[in-house]
Structure 1
Amino acid sequence: MPSLKLYVTSLLAVLLCGQALVAQAQLPDFTELVEEASPAVVNISTRQKLPERMSSGGGALSIPDLEGLPPAFREFFERSIPQVPRAPGGGRQREAQSLGSGFIISADGYVLTNNHVIADADEIVVRLSDRSELQATLVGTDPRSDVALLKIDGKDLPTVRLGKSEELKVGEWVLAIGSPFGFDHSVTAGIVSAKGRSLPNESYVPFIQTDVAINPGNSGGPLFNLDGEVVGINSQIFTRSGGFMGLSFAIPMSVAMDVAEQLKADGKVSRGWLGVVIQEVNKDLAESFGLDKPAGALVAQVLDGGPAAKGGLRVGDVILSMNGKPIVMSADLPHLVGALKPGSKANLEVVREGSRKSLQVLIGALPEEGVELAGMEGPGVERSSNRLGVKVAELTGEQKKALDLQGGVVIKEVLDGPAAMIGLRPGDVITHLNNQAIDSAKTFAQVAQSLPKNRSVSMRVLRQGRASFITFKLAE
């Protein structure tokens, strides 16, 4: 009997050991990848010849990348920052700590990094893996994608291998090399959490989301797949503490290389432009527009004279696809439009008043600065009160001209009722109600009187020149 117990115990030990070896064999080994790729990853430091703001603690420099960190962390990292001599005028010259990363993409010295790493810099220094330092020339930047292209003098420099970011799969292992908090060539690994992410104020980059540990100083560094190919540029983190919290975002290399090639050739980047303001289609909006499910990009505003207006797009259209590529979320549309060259043609499939239509639009060039319609409030005569609980007035000719409208009514007072519950305010302009254009206070009162009950109803509202659709339901 003891021998049987010993046999069973030994067998279990062998099985557990075998399972551990199998599990270990399934984990990736990054050693060869790091050895091969590290020489092409660089540290980037900048200097700005501007008077530096003094902190309250003995004249230490203020480092933007350390802002928001707990005091203990700030003190630890700031202890290594040298004091900068005073300028002749009595102030101090700002010299940023080395908290940026980049990587060499060609043997003759082209380097990719983030725009925010080198923004406003008077001097850019690239430190190679052998600790040698080279002055860099700024070839060009693209703030919209947060990509910058640098050039250093050199021959036969080590380079990274470029991969295809569009072939990445969610759940795939990826690895980052960079200089978090100035610690050169730190390596972190994780998986792809999602693709095609849109971030606030970043409409033209379909970010790769990962759970790779990215901290201040990793910005501009490469994101590798298991084949040792760069598939992204580490750009942003979402954090409440100032450090890594499991949400990191990288610019796909397909986007970055398109930007780099344009910067190299022209010094600037051209993007496609449609000339619309869009919003997400939620369940209630889908119901009000007769859609089977929430999908597409709802056109809330068409800019006068823009490509969309010339191509026949209208307010209230829901764009379902562009050039055969489906638009599931509204954020998909800017990515697709921005990737098109100005002057190219785009085929759109839209839903208008419950029916599908095909439109062809000639894509324009994205303006240097955003085009905004200015709102304008004025007096006006009260004309109507109604079931919605609002009092409205006709728009004056001056208001219509300023807002580029043919009709619409302005809310003068919000009473108790549905309007107050959905957040309408005095000064809001209503241009459409229940998929019908509102050209006067009389039309508004008629449409409001005939609104259906217990069904989602859409309303298009302009607030400070910005248009959006909202939905509500009238109870029995």
Structure 2
Amino acid sequence: MRRPRRTSPCATTISSFTLRSPRHRSRRMVVRQRRRVVVGAVRGAALLALWGPVQAQQPLSELFRKVSPSVVLVRTLERSVTADPQAGLTTIPGLGSGVLISADGKVMTAAHVVQTADRVAVQFLDGKLYPAHVVASSTRADVALLQLDRTPIALSPARLGDSDKLDVGDQIVVIGAPYGLGHSLTVGHVSGRLAMGGVVSGGPMEMLQTDASINMGNSGGPMFNMDGEVVGIVSRILTQSGGFEGVGFAVSAKVAQRVLLTAKAFWTGVDGVLLQDTLAQIFNLPQPAGFLVQQVATGSPAALLGIRAGTWPAKIGTEQLLLGGDIVLAVGGIAITPNGASLDQIQSHLSQLRPGDSITVNALRGGKVVRLSIAKPR
């Protein structure tokens, strides 16, 4: 049996009250509300003084229109070994992204997009292709600099920003060509700043972590701040599925500028695998570590030196390798050391050589150490 409903005195008397319009409010109520307004305004002014003036950000659509002409597709052709080694080499196309940074036709991209490319072309927003060549590259930092062989009449280079001013939580945009879909924009935030350890071009290596969507084809594309300045060059993703899972990385603009514009990292045109520990023993190296050459770009300094690339696919443990290529032991008298500790020293040595200076390489070939030498190209 339900108990009879109990009511409070307020409930029993509320029906006798007369509802009034706001103009019938008592003087005491009006005074209290005025005081609340004054106090709220004072508090709001204090917060504005604490936070500083609010900066109005340009809409994403306006930002995209502003910077999109500086974003390019980077198309490459390079030779690769087929599944059947006896079939020889085949030419495969590659695709990445990049950003124009100067009016004379310099383009930043990722090193892994162009490091061993035989031919490179840059495609602008209007769809036109322009041939280009690599002028600087660092595989350790994963950034490269291209120079257009001929430039369009009108260019709209992007500005390089100060990546040190970025804070975790700041909004950024990434523009590139995921799966070949040119000039696609994704939006996200700086999720973290990662000191990767080691040194590149005399300074620390740093990556910017982001949740902005990054997929195949985005590599080398620009990360912009909300002022339309380049603050990073897209490098890689962390994934278990093979697709984007919310963890992407870009090389900070500070590192890219130091490596490519200040140090002018020497492009070798070679890619390979560091052999150390068990692999060094398997290959019977005469020293603790060496660099097994996998690919060599046509016309590159490595090709002019006569360095040989691998030709036979093989799997050793968990490593997929191309065998049959040279194993570099030393460059300019600087030995390859475990964990790549000497690689930055070798890069600096090559970058500081003047055109005409001698480049020397000691390599293990067919069980014998050979010495290769050329004059540094102009």
Counterpart for residue 259 of structure 2: 259
Report deviation, 1:50.
4.5
Residue 120 in 1 paired to residue 119 in 2?
Answer: no
1:14-33 to structure 2, matched below 5 A, reads 29-33=59-63
Q: Evaluate the alpha carbon distance shift between residue 368 and residue 179 of structure 1 in structure 2; reply closer, same or farther with a 3 A threshold.
A: farther
2:195 counterpart of 1:192: no
In structure 2, the CA distance between the partners of 1:30 and 1:220, relative to structure 1 (3 Å rule), is same
- Out of 73, 92, 95, the residue aligned to residue 92 of structure 2 is 95
| Distance apart, 1:119 and its partner CA | 2.2
Q: Kindly tell me: are residues 235 and 50 of structure 1, through their superposed partners in 2, closer, same or farther at Cα, counting changes over 3 Å?
A: closer
TM-fit CA distance, 1:96:
1.8
2:130 to 116, 128, 134: 134
Measured in 2, the distance between the counterparts of 1:189 and 1:43 equals: 19
Q: Distance in 2 between matches of 1:35 and 1:139?
A: 29
1:240 aligned partner: 240
1:125 CA displacement: 1.2
Contact 1:235 1:249 in 2 (8 A): yes
CA distance in 2 between partners of 1:146 and 1:43 (Å): 17
- Which 4+ residue blocks in structure 1 deviate beyond 6 angstroms? 199-203
- 1:126·1:134 contact (CA, 8 Å) conserved in 2? yes
Aligned partners of 1:191 and 1:211 also within 8 Å: yes
Q: Does structure 1 conserve the Cα–Cα contact (< 8 Å) formed by 2:159 and 2:228?
A: yes
Change (3 A) 1:172 1:142: same
Can you give the 5+ residue segments of structure 2 that lack an aligned partner in the other structure? 1-14, 20-55, 269-332, 340-378
Structure 2 match to 1:371: 337
Provide the rounded CA distance (Å) in 2 between the counterparts of 1:368 and 1:146: 22
Aligned equivalents of 1:144 and 1:372: distance in 2?
Answer: 15
User: In 1, distance between residues paired with 2:75 and 2:113?
Assistant: 8
Give the whole-Å Cα distance in 2 for the aligned partners of 1:52 and 1:170. Answer: 44
* Shift in CA distance, 97/206, structure 1 to aligned 2, threshold 3 Å: closer
Summarize the Cα distance change of 1:267–1:183 in structure 2 as closer, same or farther, 3 Å threshold. same
1:43 to 73, 76, 97: 73
Partner residue of 2:222? 222
With structure 1 as the length reference, what TM-score do the two structures score?
0.42
Letter paired with 1:102? G
| Distance change in 2, residues 1:90/1:244 (3 Å) | closer
The alignment partner of 1:239 has SS state of coil
Cross-structure match for 2:103: 107
Once the two structures are TM-superposed, the CA of residue 181 in structure 1 deviates from its matched residue by 0.9
Q: Distance in 2 between matches of 1:372 and 1:191?
A: 36
1:147 counterpart = 2:143: yes
Structure 1 residue 216, shift from structure 2 partner: 1.2
Contact 1:139 1:263 in 2 (8 A): no
Q: Distance in 2 between matches of 1:102 and 1:120?
A: 17
Q: Does the aligned pair in 1 maintain the 2:172–2:188 contact within 8 Å?
A: yes
| Per-residue CA distance 1:30-73 (angstroms, 9 max, x = gap) | 1111001011100011111445437xxxxxxxxxxxxxxxxxxx
CA distance in 1 between counterparts of 2:132 and 2:83 reads 26
> What CA deviation, in whole Å up to 9, does each residue of 1:233-265 have, x standing for no partner?
01110001111101111111011011111464x
1:469 — aligned with what? none
- Say whether the 8 Å CA contact 1:262–1:268 is kept in structure 2: no
Counting only pairs closer than 5 Å after superposition, residues 29-428 of structure 1 correspond to structure 2 as 29-53=59-83, 93-98=90-95, 100-152=96-148, 153-154=150-151, 155-198=153-196, 204-262=204-262, 264=264, 267=266, 370-372=336-338
Distance 1:91 1:268 in 2: 26
In the TM superposition, residue 211 of structure 1 has moved relative to its aligned partner by 0.6
Please report the TM-score for the alignment, with normalisation by the length of structure 2: 0.52
Alpha carbons 1:145, 1:204 under 8 Å: kept: no
Secondary structure at the counterpart of residue 208 of structure 1: strand
Q: Distance in 1 between matches of 2:214 and 2:197?
A: 17
Distance 1:178 1:117 in 2: 13
Distance in 2 between residues matched to 1:35 and 1:180, nearest whole Å: 19
CA distance in 1, matches of 2:124, 2:242: 27
- Per-residue deviation, 1:188: 0.2
Return closer, same or farther for 1:244/1:138 CA change in 2, 3 Å cut-off: same
C-alpha contact 2:134 2:267 (8 A) present in aligned 1:
no
Query: Aligned AA for 1:185?
Result: H
Query: Cα–Cα, structure 1 residues 164 and 201, in superposed 2: closer, same or farther, change >3 Å?
Result: closer
C-alpha separation between the residues in 1 aligned to 2:194 and 2:225?
Answer: 17
- Contact kept, 8 Å, 2:144 with 2:260, in 1: the verdict is yes
Report sequence identity in percent.
39
Q: Return the index of the structure with the highest Cα Rg.
A: 2
- CA, structure 1 residues 136+206, in 2 after alignment: closer, same or farther (shift >3 Å)? same
Superposition deviation, residue 197 in structure 1: 4.1
Larger RCO (alpha carbons 8 Å, 6+ apart):
2
The C-alpha deviation readout for 1:415-449, integer Å capped at 9, x for no partner, is xxxxxxxxxxxxxxxxxxxxxxxxxxxxxxxxxxx
Q: Which residue identity lines up with residue 126 of structure 1 in the other structure?
A: V
**Aligned-pair RMSD on alpha carbons?**
3.5
Once the two structures are TM-superposed, the CA of residue 162 in structure 1 deviates from its matched residue by: 1.2
Q: Which runs of 5+ in 1 are unaligned?
A: 5-25, 55-88, 270-366, 374-476
**d(CA) in 2 for partners of 1:182 and 1:199?**
33
Secondary structure, aligned partner of 2:69: helix
- 2: CA distance between counterparts of 1:262 and 1:201? 15
For residue 161 of structure 1, report the CA deviation from its aligned partner: 1.3
The total of aligned residue pairs comes to 222
Partner amino acid, structure 2, of 1:113: T
